[in-house]
Homo-oligomer: A and B are copies of this chain.
Amino acid sequence: MTTDQLLHWLGYPAACLTTFAFIPQAWLTLRTRNVSGISALTYAAFTLGVVLWLAYGWHERDWALIAANTITLPLAASILWTKLREDARARRSHRERRPH
């Protein structure tokens, strides 16, 4: 395999890494519900971006883009959902503890 072929081949591991990378984060977040250090804005923007990539990939019939983003979407969305839900809970319990 020439260097040229190797570099051309890099797209596959790159796609796999940036796709499957979110599995440990989703697992950690769902298991621990520890979202204090997680940015809701990041996961909102990232999830929306993944949705747009999915629509773009579908339009272009780019099956690699469709496959990668079909895997990443539920991972990113579950992190975002847990973050929003836990923050809402924290706000509610904070309000309940305040003296009326």
Chain A contact residues: helix, strand, loop or mixed: helix
Q: Which of A30-75 contact B (CB under 8 A)?
A: 32, 34-39, 41-43, 45-46, 48-50, 52-53, 55-56, 58-60
Give how many copies assemble into the complex.
2
Taking a contact as CB atoms under 8 Å apart, the answer to whether B28 and A39 are in contact is: yes
Taking a contact as CB atoms under 8 Å apart, the answer to whether A53 and B7 are in contact is: no
CA distance A55 to B10 in the complex (A): 8
Question: Which B residue sits closest to A54, measured CB to CB?
Answer: B14
A contacts with B, residue count (CB < 8 A): 42
Taking a contact as CB atoms under 8 Å apart, the answer to whether A24 and B52 are in contact is: no
Question: Which B residue sits closest to A10, measured CB to CB?
Answer: B56
* CB neighbours of A50 from chain B (8 A): 14, 18
Taking a contact as CB atoms under 8 Å apart, the answer to whether B45 and A21 are in contact is: yes
CA distance A74 to B66 in the complex (A): 27
